Chain A
Amino acid sequence: MKKGTLKQILLITDGCSNEGEDPVAMAALAREQGITVNVIGVLDQYDTEDSHGLQEVEGIAQAGGGISQIVQTKQLAQTVQMVTKQAMTQTIKGVINQQLQDILGDGETVEDLPPEKRGKVMEVVDEVGETADLHVCILVDTSASMKNKLPTVREALTDLSLSLSARMGENQFCLFLFPGKRKSVQKVISWTPQLDSIKRIFEKISSHGITPTGPAIKEAVKSFSSLSRKQSLVDDDEAYDDGPR
């Protein structure tokens, strides 16, 4: 059996998009291509909870088939890794539910099984979550209001890498900032198995007033096809040498 790959976009933002495509539509577009979109809304004590931007956070995650979570800056690290793992479980369960439907029909889901069988299914979900390959494209909002939250974001991402690298499956990460220096979205790290050495990247950022969330999600979706192209190239090469990925 072929080992599956889970694809996720992780969006970290504190508010409302104001430029380019509708981010909710772009999230739906991602989902259409088998990519889950998770969104984390970061607040500090000065932000109010009921702002319009937070509605957007939920909307994007819903359209992207993922999870959204609003957190205070200091809880960011634990939330980022939890959301990522929960979203993996959710995706895997979704796939299993679909297969159950094919077998049992009638809108039967894992939840409808007796506890003993459900336990078996959950073991499988755990197993897959532990061994599957995971590709996460991270989008960080660097608009002006995010500026003082960025050191914590950086820490949270290092922590995420630490959590995921303990899994048995392989990981690939890439990192986009928006708005970027010249373009609206800027790729700062291309696909890599480990997210260390991201300290410098966040220090060089100049913050703008615009928040092009939609274009950022679109770029992220595109990046997944570049990864699979790169990997198939590597696969072709493997016949000749075991070169680095």
Chain B
Amino acid sequence: MIKRPFIGLFQPKLKYDLLEADPKEPEVVPVPSNILLLLNDSLDSSKITFIKKGDQVKKGEKLFLYKESTEHVISSVSGVIKRVESYAGEFGNIKTSIVIGNENNDDFVNDFKEHADKFELDAAAKFLKLLPGAPPLEILADPAHKIHTLVISGVDEDISSTVRQYFLTTESADLKEGIQILKKLTQIPKIILTVPEGISVDTEISGMQVFNISPVYPDALPKMIMKNQLSTIVPQGKTCEDMGVCFISSEAVVSIAKAYRDKSIHFEKIVCVTGKDGVRKRMKVLIGTPVISILKQLNIHTNENDRIVIGGPFNGFSTFTVYHPVGPCMDSIIVQDSGSIPYVSDSACINCGKCIKICPANIPVNLLVRQLAANLFEDAEEKFDLEACIECGLCSYVCTAKIPIFQYIRLGKHELLKIKAEVETEGANA
């Protein structure tokens, strides 16, 4: 954890991890006996599920919860479904976990094979969106978005990961190929590659621009790149995609290249694991591998009240179970010892102004947090710019009163969405 410097007049500089000079091949975690897949769909006890305990599934098979479901997961092993259960995500978002016992046979369904020569965006969106790195192909395929700029992220968004940099430097040939494929698939004219300052790459493609990104958090967050490099301010409440810019990680691009070359999909994800001692290691794991299998391999023991963070220290979330699976867009895992977890407090804002100094979006955080604590979400938005927040988390990081500001902000945005939805339905009913 990076602490405040003794001379606190100057802002703490939170440096991103830079990839080491001579990156090693990631250590491979063996395929566990059970894998777990998280499906973005909730169980409905009144309906009969399409998949159930005891079903035989093959590697590469798409699993839907109900016949009419649109969300799916792809099994990364072949074996038997052992359990289908509800799984609590953030903000009461209920998902479904599917546990599959691995039978180690070579049954493989390869639906993508026949599309691998055609380079059609719709097919790619249908078969490749769950590749390691989670390429945002559905957004690219959706004509509503009118994407005119594609940004290939060779920079990691949060501090504790070097996964994207790893793909940027070690797999540059595949990266180039992937970019060419994306050009062919999407016909997007403007392609940009983001590279951390201080790392040199030899990925040159005619017409592609390269942006050097400063290694200080939060400069690699998409909205900061929009502001600093693309000189486009994303209006309050809008996304980068609304502005016609789509970000895709270098890992996803490499995955696409591999899929078209091998004419099949693969499930190996690279994850950066930070142990309790702060040592970081990149691991190669099968999607669906529970976190505990990785920790066992690394000899990291978890005890009561430790914390496992999925994603980075600023943008991640903490899981309640050591069985949380590796997903397509999970770049890092951090294990924190119970003794080193910073506590939050219920004390009020003391108006010290540190959050104001550090906020990259000029949000009056000290006033905003008072509104949010009082559940005044509409005021928070209208007068105190709730939606302009780019969710960097720095205000909470520096808050003297240790207020969980960032949590208030996320909750506030969530509530605001609900309020807006209600207003719309009321308007429609009237």
State yes or no: do A and B come from one complex: no
